[in-house]
Amino acid sequence: MLSDFKSFILRGNVVDLAIGVAIGAAFAAVVASFTENLLTPLLAIPGDAASFGELSFTAGGSEFRYGAFFDAIIAFVITAAVIYFLVVRPVNRLMRERRTEPEVESPTRDCPECLSSIPVAARRCAFCTAEVAAA
């Protein structure tokens, strides 16, 4: 039973997932610190608040901290932008450049009369019954 557990834990995808979660948590802490300590004070310059996190109102004896919600939204947008511009776009560009398989030709073509999609080998359009030249 322990050998099965050991093989499960040492599987590549489990270890990769654990590393990804740890790095993601560290990255979230960095983004939260950036938002709280650098960005929020810059955004609060025109107003009176030094931090959005301190903004709140009370209704019916309950405190609604909407400033903390704004901080969370800002942190989310920054995280999404950083991931998109520093991870997704470069990886997509790299994958596009390293592509080795040839482009696959489409199994269909457009009918010259009705512009519907028909098989490449068709001699007559199934939609408008027009005769089409063989491919």
For the chain, what are the domain ranges? 2-97, 105-135
pLDDT tens-digit readout, 85-111: 888 899 889 888 887 777 778 889 999
Stated pTM of the model: 0.49
Q: Which amino acid is at 60?
A: G
Burial of residue 4 (number of CB atoms within 10 Å: 0-12, 13-18, 19+): exposed
CATH 1.10.1200.120 fits 2-97, yes or no: yes
Ranges of H-type helices in 10-65 = 12-34, 40-43
The answer to whether the beta carbons of residues 27 and 79 sit under 8 Å apart is yes
CB atoms closer than 10 angstroms to residue 88? 11
β-bridge mates for residue 109, sequence order:
118
* Alpha helix ranges (H) inside the chain: 2-9, 12-34, 40-43, 66-83, 89-97
Segment-wise mean pLDDT, segments of 10 residues, the chain, 135 residues: 77 78 86 75 66 81 88 80 84 84 82 90 90 82
Helix, strand, coil proportions of the chain in percent (round to 5)? 55, 10, 35
